[in-house]
Amino acid sequence: MNKKIVILPGDGIGKEVTAEGKRVLQKVADVFDHSFVFEEAQIGHEAIEATGNPLPDESLMKLKDCDAILFGAVGHPKYDNDPTLKVRPEQGLLKMRKELGLYANLRPIKLFDELLGASSIKPEILKGSDILFFRELTGDVYFGEKGKKDDGNTAYDLMIYQRFEIERIAHKAFAAARTRKKKVVSVDKANVLESSRLWRQVVTEVGQHYPDVQLEHQFVDAAAMKLIQNPRSFDVVLTGNLFGDILTDEASQIAGSMGMLASASVGDTVGLYEPIHGSAHDITGQGIANPLASILSAALLLDISFGWKEESEMIIRAVEQALKKGYRTRDIRDAATDEKKILSTSEMGRVVRDEMERIAKTQWA
Ligand code: IPM
Ligand code: MG
């Protein structure tokens, strides 16, 4: 099966971790006799330096003509404290989401048992947590009208949602809930925001098409608290762009580390897969970034875009095995970690591929 995958490493550790995600995809191709054509494209700070544009047309053309995308991260510290810079790496990511119609961001928060000790939350509270976030990705304050007035002394970003934007992601969340514990928590701020009141109304209406799925509404502040207080009380969480951005970073602590979390952005066309972590310039170039979020993103890619469950499952099991054998990157070590088993980015990638090889051999021996 010939599939074209665009690799979009981006900035900072994006490059380091995506290289490992790609190698794992190559390993899948070898083991299962698939063939992938990989193409690279530029985005973010790197693309600005090369072309002045955070998402050059050449990249966009490649993205529109492929079967799936594996993305790293964008960002650079030089922009973070300089609000005067007009062209910014993140614009490339936002434009890509909009242009490709990637309106649903799925962020599964699943804790590998081996990492129970790596989180700052107590193990007995965490154990068994398994949450699937549906974050809306192409609306909200991210894309509402923004601007400045009063000689730059007033600035605004409009929080705006249209019915069809809420409906389409709500359907996805309810449909997913049917395959899980049949429970959706929809998060908003309907006690204050008009856009949240529409959100709540539309989600309730969509929910009526799924009478077998239980729907609960929570305000975002309460949801933020409950996520840490009792993560097991959540199954599918449905929310808007901004609240979803914040809550999923928080929820990453339930999985031990940001370095573990993969995500899928889907809409009506091609799917994009990426770690939820950023470009992390503080550790760039040291070879210590955790590649598992990118590797698990590759697993999501095979499952969601290609429908290849077995291939996807093999990657997840290989990651599980690597963790079971005590291998860690720095971000997921705990008091029990054997210092000798703390691996670099590329070593962790190698260990996962070796485990895949082992699984393939025992399955078909
Ligand atoms: C994310 C990131 C992005 C976002 C940034 C880099 C624009 O934080 O994917 O969660 O806010 O959506
Ligand atoms: Mg974020």
Provide CB contacts within 8 A for 70, sequence distance 6+: 5, 6, 7, 8, 18, 21, 22, 25, 273, 274, 294, 297, 298, 301
pLDDT at 186: 99
Q: How many CB atoms lie within 10 A of CB 365?
A: 5
Distance 265 CA to ligand 2 centre (A): 13
Q: Please give the sequence-ordered ranges of beta strands (E in DSSP) within 247-354, or none if there are none.
A: 262-266, 271-275
State the residue for tokens 């794992």: 24
Give the mutation target among 90, 94, 97, 135 for probing the ligand 1 site: most ligand atoms within 8 A of CB. 90
Ligand 1 atom index nearest CA of 105: 9
Which stretches in the chain have pLDDT values below 50?
none
pLDDT in tens, 270-293: 999 999 999 999 999 999 999 999
221 is catalytic: yes
Distance 245 CA to ligand 1 centre (A): 7
Nearest ligand to residue 137 Cα? 1
142 is catalytic: yes
Nearest CA to ligand 1 atom 8: 245
> pTM of the prediction?
0.95
Nearest Cα neighbor of 110 from 320, 255, 252, 231 is 255
Q: Which CATH superfamily is domain 107-266 in?
A: Isopropylmalate Dehydrogenase (3.40.718.10)
Q: Where in the chain is the domain with CATH 3.40.718.10?
A: 1-103+278-365, 107-266
Q: Catalytic pick from 80, 113, 221, 338? A: 221
pLDDT at 1: 64
Distance 75 CA to ligand 1 centre (A): 10
161 is catalytic: no
Ligand 1 atom index nearest CA of 245: 10
Nearest ligand to residue 79 Cα? 1
Q: Catalytic pick from 30, 67, 157, 249? A: 249
Contact 242, 188 (CB under 8 A): no
Nearest CA to ligand 1 atom 10: 245
Nearest Cα neighbor of 23 from 347, 272, 295, 263 is 295
Ligand 1: residues within 6 Å at CB? 75, 90, 93, 245, 276, 278
DSSP 185-198: EEEE-TTT-HHHHH
Q: How many CB atoms lie within 10 A of CB 317?
A: 15
State the residue for tokens 């809930």: 177
Distance 276 CA to ligand 2 centre (A): 6
pLDDT at 119: 87
The CATH fold of domain 1-103+278-365: Isopropylmalate Dehydrogenase (3.40.718)
354 is catalytic: no
**Cα separation of 304 and 291, whole Å?**
20
181 is catalytic: no
